[in-house]
């Protein structure tokens, strides 16, 4: 049986589905940094997020994932509250590992650790995402 292209159903609803977590198709901005051999490389400022779940995410790198080794460790930053004129910014900082690369542009990663960070700031000016 062929898998549907896009769905967000619990694994019980589809007997051939092996995923443990429900997928959500949300247009969230991301920043992805890869680490390998003691080096940190900013892959892309805003890669195309395909889906996200409690266990991981799948995204496409517009400039390709060919240069990233398969054993790279990722740090993914996802802004949750991006206040324009509020005194704090909240984002999720996730450590993840690559579990699959598809067609040189798609990357599937599984979360190892998720940390929620709140940055206070004295002024109402926006703060850039951490690199």
Domain ranges of the chain: 31-120
- Answer yes or no: is pLDDT of 7 > 60: no
Q: Which of 76, 71, 82 is nearest to 53 (CA)?
A: 76
Handedness of CA 124, 93, 60, 9 (dihedral sign): negative
Q: How far apart are alpha carbons 38 and 125 in whole angstroms?
A: 34
The answer to whether 95 and 75 have CB atoms below 8 angstroms apart is yes
- Answer yes or no: is pLDDT of 15 > 60: no
The burial of 110, by beta-carbon neighbours within 10 Å (0-12 exposed, 13-18 middle, 19 or more buried), is given as middle
Confidence band of 3 (pLDDT split at 50, 70, 90)? very low
Of the listed ranges 9-13, 26-30, 41-45, 71-75, the one predicted with least confidence: 9-13
**pLDDT tens for each residue of 20-55:** 788 888 888 888 888 888 888 887 767 888 899 999
* pTM given for the model: 0.70
pLDDT at 53: 92
Average pLDDT across the chain, whole number: 76
Looking up tokens 């703060």 gives 127
Q: How far is CA 87 from CA 30, 79, 117, 127, in A?
A: 21, 15, 14, 10
pLDDT at 129: 61
**pLDDT tens for each residue of 91-120:** 899 999 988 888 778 888 999 999 999 887
Does the structural domain 31-120 have CATH classification 1.25.40?
A: no
């Amino acid at each position: 049986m062929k898998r549907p292209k896009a769905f967000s159903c619990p694994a019980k609803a589809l007997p051939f589905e092996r995923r443990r977590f429900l997928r959500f198709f949300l247009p969230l901005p991301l920043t992805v940094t890869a680490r390998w051999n003691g080096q940190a490389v900013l892959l892309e400022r805003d890669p195309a997020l395909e889906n996200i779940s409690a266990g991981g995410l799948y995204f496409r790198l517009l400039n390709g994932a060919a240069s990233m080794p398969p054993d790279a460790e990722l740090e993914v930053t996802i802004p949750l509250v991006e206040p324009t004129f509020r005194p704090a910014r909240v984002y999720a900082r996730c450590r993840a590992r690559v579990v699959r690369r598809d067609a040189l542009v798609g990357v599937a990663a599984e979360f190892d650790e998720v940390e929620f960070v709140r940055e206070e700031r004295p002024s109402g000016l926006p703060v850039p995402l951490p690199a």
